[in-house]
């Protein structure tokens, strides 16, 4: 049976209350602009939620995992089997993302979007498999176009479950050996760039592996050039099962007017596709950090994004998003709880 196309209805965020929100921020007991990016973040959150007292409720971080056929060509420091091993580690609570989520109060879920072999011995992994790894993108399309729509539908149902549970902020992490190759190819095709401007060293590959990675992505872009006609086609030709479902989840979250905390290079590639599909998505995106992957800064600039952190991270998993959550809380809390000049009986300095 053919998977029907999935579309999303995403409303733009209104700016009618911007002056009122900004005035509320400016009258806090501080010099104008003294809280820097937190002030812009508070404005964005209050604008999205359209509330006098914005709140973060039941924040949830979803880690999407999938394998990539191109990994067999030695474009990463580890073989594809490590994807499943790390997914099991996530489910058992032993990875960096588990530590950070426990620390900051993120609920964590792990989704198998299509790793090579399902992890049978560990419970708690959500099955949203689109296959057992994508095809090698330098030889064939990563997946059929129908798989993109199927992944979008799965992601929408997942987000809807969390929305119904009261969640209003979601973040996305990923795991998949070879996924920086897919993300770089998606970036190049989406932005009309050459592979050399997008391909980085991932988790720290050698010079020889980098040269091979660059060559294979150039080959993939050339192979699929005629087919890269729209964002969904780019995902089908060059993406990964986890990138597809992250993209769909971002679209679904924006459709439900939820805030989306975007992690690093791979998550930003998914955000790029989501924005290309539905430009209004951009209003709901908060960019957590700038990673060490060389294409990330260029993607952030393209999306007019100023990330909250720059810590030299290159781990993935959603770790940057988890570390940024306390800053989101700080923005909401100063907006709601900090005294105004009139509250404190202090002469205003605005």
Catalytic residues, which ones?
Answer: 317
CA 252 → CA 41, 208, 245, 285, 299, distances in Å?
21, 40, 10, 12, 22
Tokens of 302: 């393209």
Residue in 137, 151, 146 with CA at minimum distance from that of residue 188: 137
* Rg (the chain; Cα; Å): 20
- Cα angle: 218, vertex 224, 225; to 5 degrees: 80
The edge-to-edge listing of strands for the beta sheet with 125-127 is 125-127, 107-114, 60-66, 169-175, 259-262, 285-287
CA 173 – CA 246 distance, rounded (Å): 8
- Which residue has tokens 């499943």? 84
CA 329 → CA 41, 60, 146, 148, 289, distances in Å?
10, 14, 39, 34, 16
Helix (H, G, I), strand (E, B) or coil at 169: strand
- Which residue has tokens 């991270």? 313
Cα dihedral 15, 18, 21, 25 sign: positive
Q: Are 122 and 91 in contact (CB under 8 A)?
A: yes
């Amino acid at each position: 049976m053919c998977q029907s196309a999935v579309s999303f209805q995403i409303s733009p965020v209104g700016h009618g209350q911007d002056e009122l929100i900004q005035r509320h921020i400016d009258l806090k007991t501080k010099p104008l602009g003294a809280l820097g990016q937190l002030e812009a973040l508070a404005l964005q959150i209050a604008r999205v939620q359209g509330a006098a007292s914005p709140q973060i409720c039941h924040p949830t971080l979803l880690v999407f995992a999938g394998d990539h056929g191109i990994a067999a060509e030695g474009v990463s420091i580890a073989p594809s089997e490590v994807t499943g091993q790390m997914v099991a580690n996530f489910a058992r609570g032993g990875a960096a993302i588990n530590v950070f989520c426990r620390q900051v109060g993120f609920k964590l879920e792990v989704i198998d979007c299509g790793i090579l072999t399902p992890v049978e011995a560990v419970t708690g992994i959500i099955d949203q498999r689109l296959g057992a790894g994508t095809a090698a993108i330098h030889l064939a399309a990563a997946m059929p176009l129908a798989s993109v729509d199927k992944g979008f539908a799965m992601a929408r149902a997942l987000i809807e479950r969390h929305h119904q549970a009261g969640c209003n902020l979601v973040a996305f992490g990923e795991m998949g050996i070879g996924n920086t190759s897919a993300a770089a190819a998606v970036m190049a095709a989406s932005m009309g760039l050459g592979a050399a401007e997008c391909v980085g060293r991932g988790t720290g590959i050698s010079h020889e592996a980098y040269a091979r990675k660059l060559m294979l992505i150039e080959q993939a872009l050339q192979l699929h050039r005629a087919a890269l006609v729209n964002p969904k086609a780019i995902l089908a030709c060059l993406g990964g099962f986890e990138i597809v479902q992250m993209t769909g989840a971002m679209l679904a979250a924006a459709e439900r007017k939820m805030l989306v905390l975007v992690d690093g290079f791979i998550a930003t590639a998914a955000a790029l596709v989501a924005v290309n599909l539905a430009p209004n998505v951009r209003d709901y995106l908060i960019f957590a950090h700038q990673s060490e992957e060389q294409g990330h800064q260029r993607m952030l600039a393209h999306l007019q994004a100023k990330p909250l952190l720059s810590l030299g991270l290159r781990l993935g998993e959603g770790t940057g998003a988890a570390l940024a959550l306390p800053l989101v809380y700080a923005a909401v809390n100063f907006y709601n709880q900090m005294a105004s000049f009139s509250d404190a009986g202090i002469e205003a300095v605005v």
